[in-house]
Amino acid sequence: MLHKNIAINKEGHLTFAGQDVVSLAEKYGTPLMLLDEDRIRENIRVYKKAMTECFGEGSFPLFASKALCFKGIYRIAKEEGIGVDAVSVGELYTAEAAGFDLSKAYFHGNNKTDADIAFGVSHGVGTFVVDNTDELLALEKHLSEVGKRQRVLLRISPGIDPHTFKAVVTGSVDSKFGSPIATGQAEEITRLALSLKNIDLVGFHCHIGSQIFDHEPFTEAADIMLHFIALIRAKTGFVPTELNLGGGLGVRYIESHPHIDYAEVIGEMAAIIKLRAAEIGIDLPKIVLEPGRSLVADAGMTLYTVGSIKSITGYKNYVSIDGGMPDNPRYALYESPYTLYLASRANAEANFPCSVVGRCCESGDIIQEGVTLPKPVRGEILAVAVTGAYNYSMASNYNRIPRPAIVLLKGGKDSLAVRRESNEDMIKNEV
């Protein structure tokens, strides 16, 4: 199976986290998002352990909560003792509502409004990751008005394209995020931050991309950041104590993707980064990583009920399900690959090539094209694996379709974590 939390039981039903998903679909209805809480905790522990072992005490992971945002996930982060990366007041608010201490939150975003800044400061956000000069000045102005100081990292653009990073080192200088090193703007914003009396600059942040399978783009980015740190030290005397290398480690969505041992990748990263720091002649700051996908993706599975099955003579077969782009826009947006199972008869021979499509009035409403499944029958349950990241958090009400419920699976038990949205919920703000 794709991941160790997916199996088939003696009834021939798919199981997830040891539980029969057909029974769960019956109990809670579909579309349904299942989350394997034990798996999330295990993923967090792997990162935590590897980071302290490889980078030393004080280095730690944050959960990038844009990947999956609801109160339950912040409770888990709190219990596991990790910080979170939040990118909006909405995420901070959800974290706080879950009892998460915002002093352990890192506030991201390339365009924090004055209201966002005021919210973050008044709610005690631990660290602002400041994207640009305008934001830095707005933050300083607000801090001086309220008489506070704020811990800050500056978002720097190292100019790495993770897919072609060797050939095109300046590939992503042109980005809406951060201040590029290559243009001198990273140095400029650092000098400005150091001159502002309410800004407590502790270090730098970079994020190079997502769904990256090996350590090389990260070590390449770290190398550039370490050179930048050396340059800043030489020019200003400032020695950062924290370097946040962002998120981005990949996840196995389909059989042809590699299995990734995150502890091993972090170990490889650490070995090279420590070596580079020694060569450059700087003390390695505390390292922070911000995984989103790799903490939650494989802990998610979406269940749907099969509706119409249609064969367009001479073309192809369509299997329609009772969800689609509103709960999973990732194929429509990125043609993201997924593994699908006919959960009701998971052992049956897969001999029916088809496209699995949603119920929206839009041709692009596709979950996956060109899959081969056992020929489904209306009413059977279809499962899409590895949907824990960027599915629920990117869900919409397109076509006025309510968002699915979330059910947490833990130690063989299931519990409702987010109720299914109702039609009433969808019109509640309409006057």
Interface ranges with ligand LLP (CB under 6 A): 64, 66-67, 85, 108, 207, 210, 246-249, 290-294, 330, 389-390
Residue 339 CA to residue 255 CA, distance in Å, equals 8
The nearer residue to ligand LLP, 245 or 342, going by C-beta atoms, is 245
Please state the closest distance from residue 389 (CB atom) to ligand LLP, in A: 6
Shortest approach of ligand LLP to residue 129 CB, angstroms? 7
Measure the CA–CA gap between 252 and 142, rounded to whole angstroms: 44
In the bound complex, what is the minimum distance in angstroms from residue 15's beta carbon to ligand LLP?
Answer: 26
| CB of 64 or CB of 105, closer to ligand LLP | 64
Active site residues: 361
DSSP 219-267: HHHHHHHHHHHHHHHHHH----SEEE----B----STTSPP--HHHHHH
Nearest CB to ligand LLP, comparing residues 210 and 219: 210
| Least spacing, CB of residue 5 vs ligand LLP, in Å | 19
- If we measure between CA atoms, which residue out of 272, 282, 328 comes closest to residue 304? 328
Nearest Cα residue to 352 out of 382, 322, 379: 382
Cα–Cα distance, 108 to 176 (Å, whole number) = 13
230 vs 243: CA distance, rounded Å: 13
414 contacts 15 by C-beta, under 8 angstroms: no
Residue 396 CA to residue 186 CA, distance in Å, equals 36
Closest CA to 193 of 252, 143, 227, 147: 143
Q: How far is the CB of 39 from ligand LLP (least distance, A)?
A: 16
Choose between 189 and 354: whose C-beta lies nearer to ligand LLP. 189
Residue type, 320: S
Minimum CB separation from ligand LLP for residue 270, in Å?
18
Which CB sits closer to ligand LLP, 292 or 324?
292
Q: Which helix (H) or strand (E) holds 410?
A: strand 405-410
Q: Which is nearer to ligand LLP, 22 or 299 (CB)?
A: 299
Residue 278, SS3 per DSSP: helix
